[in-house]
Chain A
Amino acid sequence: MKFMGYRREDGRIGIRNKVLILPTVSCSSETARIISSQVAGTTTFCNHTGCGQVGKDAQRTIDILIGLGQNPNIYGVVVVGLGCETAQPNIIAEGIKKSKKPVQAVVIQEEGGTLRAALKGAQYALEMVQAASRQERGECDISELIVALECGGSDPTSGMASNPALGAASDLVIQNSGTTILSETTEFIGAEHLLAARCVDSYVSSELLKIVKDLEESVKNMGADLTGGNPSPGNIRSGITTIEEKSLGCIYKAGTSPVTEVIEYGVKPSKRGLVVMDSPGFDIDSVVGMVASGAQICVFTTGRGTPVGNPIVPVIKVTGNPTTFVNMKDNIDINAGTILEGDATIQDVGGEIFEEVLRVSNGGMTKAEAFGFSESSIWRCGTSV
């Protein structure tokens, strides 16, 4: 099955063709926003990390920023640094250049303030956006697609309608030799035995059980219970009682395909098929991890409704709750509530999601994308210093 995408120098396929104005640290985020606001065709986000970090936590932020820059939906990158931060702009720029795309860097302290940095950054962005606009879409195979699977603002309809429908769509992507990523390790707790039984071999299975055990232990080491954090107060009000119940509903979004590998947060998959990525249940951290690992598109199920988008990939929103579809129509692309109303089957809506993935890959805009939403955060694994 084919779609029209942008073939990049590193061989990967993009479904968007944006120029990323990438702030390496919180301190340069506002200057990056000014640059982006001057040049149509650019995208940016507020980076909450990039400094006061050490060890694995610092390295993860650097790797994720590089991964976001390398994402094939991005034609070229203008790195905007402050100068003194942990995530040094030259390291980020050099890392992104390995994907052979155009990369420029401006450093606020070296340029002499926001206005001079913004001038230089906007000049770079202007050239890149024009060059990007000359690139044409070409025929690509769906096997080149990596689809991020996400759920958030869940309610009990998520496990009965939207997640099983997304699971059917995920199976269709995989039957066409594509890749989907299941993340949110917290939401495997209580359902991990079902996923472990679907792993291609005992090594993958043990890796999967390990990430769940490590996450559960880290919660206990904080002296906390999951309940109240996950399931959240909203999940509980809607009728989800325990993390086990939430997880059992969540993993339906990965369909029935075998798990081919378990990857760390933000790392590129080395296998096709259903890949599991270690990430928290916090939607924004989770989506950003999958985008840094190269996903070009995200399908996001919700019960209560959520506006979340992403600066780099289009996010298709699906709800299994027919009331939410009406109440939050601005934010929801697909109504899977028809399943509970008896008007459609899980397979019907799965097919609808799959077709929407192709339409959006061809350039069709999602609602979150039309709003220009850019929620982003990076999963921390250390304290600020």
Chain B
Amino acid sequence: MSSKAALIIDIGDNVAVALRDLKEGQHIEITRGDCTLKLVLIEDIPVYHKFALTELNEGDKVFKYGEIMGEAMCKIRAGEHVHIHNIKSLRGKYNEVHGI
């Protein structure tokens, strides 16, 4: 089993991927380029799910693989679970196009 708790795929990412089930309150140290980033998880993160590395505001773009993967729908705190409840896709959306 990997000793790493989480992975930042690209240096430009503002989310990390949990490499095992992580717990609320857990202190995380993750390598980002040459630095080590430290944060505390504010909720449980299931394995391979994402958490925010910095605070995100509504409308902020979410970066994974160094590319835009969606947009924050509300304020997201560092260490918070990032998934369908707080970020959204910007593509293939009928409702937005039609203003519904």
Most chain A CB within a 10 A radius of its CB, from B4, B50, B67, B95: B67
Q: Is A243 an interface residue (CB 8 A)?
A: yes
Kindly list the 5 A-B residue pairs having the minimum CB-CB distance in the complex, ordered from nearest: A226-B92, A242-B89, A239-B49, A156-B48, A245-B69
CA distance A369 to B87 in the complex (A): 41
Known: A241-B69, A243-B91, A244-B70. A341 touches B2 (CB 8 A): yes
CA distance A238 to B17 in the complex (A): 12
Residues of A within 8 A of B4 (CB): 342
26 contacts between A and B (CB under 8 A): A155-B48, A156-B49, A160-B9, A189-B92, A191-B67, A219-B92, A219-B94, A220-B92, A220-B94, A223-B94, A225-B92, A226-B93, A236-B84, A239-B17, A239-B46, A239-B47, A239-B48, A241-B50, A241-B70, A241-B84, A242-B70, A244-B68, A244-B69, A340-B2, A340-B19, A342-B3
CA distance A223 to B98 in the complex (A): 9
Taking a contact as CB atoms under 8 Å apart, the answer to whether B94 and A222 are in contact is yes
CA distance A383 to B63 in the complex (A): 39
Residues of B within 8 A of A230 (CB): 92
The number of chain A residues touching the other chain, given as a range, is 20 to 34
Q: Which of B1-50 contact A (CB under 8 A)?
A: 1-4, 7, 9, 17, 19, 46-50
CB distance from A336 to the nearest CB of B (A): 14
Q: Which of B84, B91, B95, B97 contacts A244 (CB 8 A)?
A: B91
CB distance from B48 to the nearest CB of A (A): 4
CB distance from B77 to the nearest CB of A (A): 17
Taking a contact as CB atoms under 8 Å apart, the answer to whether A226 and B48 are in contact is no
Q: Is B83 an interface residue (CB 8 A)?
A: yes
Q: Is A196 an interface residue (CB 8 A)?
A: no
CA distance A102 to B29 in the complex (A): 64
Q: Is A5 an interface residue (CB 8 A)?
A: no
The number of chain B residues touching the other chain, given as a range, is 20 to 34
- How many A-B Cβ pairs are below 8 Å? 98
CA distance A289 to B90 in the complex (A): 29
Taking a contact as CB atoms under 8 Å apart, the answer to whether A225 and B48 are in contact is no
Taking a contact as CB atoms under 8 Å apart, the answer to whether B69 and A189 are in contact is no
CB-based nearest A residue for B71: A242
Q: Which of A302-332 contact B (CB under 8 A)?
A: 321
Taking a contact as CB atoms under 8 Å apart, the answer to whether B93 and A341 are in contact is no
Residues of A within 8 A of B84 (CB): 227, 236, 241
Taking a contact as CB atoms under 8 Å apart, the answer to whether B69 and A242 are in contact is yes
CB-based nearest B residue for A229: B92
CA distance A150 to B47 in the complex (A): 24
CB-based nearest A residue for B3: A342
Most chain A CB within a 10 A radius of its CB, from B46, B48, B49: B48
CB-based nearest A residue for B1: A341
Residues of A within 8 A of B68 (CB): 190, 244
Q: Is A1 an interface residue (CB 8 A)?
A: no
Most chain B CB within a 10 A radius of its CB, from A216, A222, A238, A245: A245
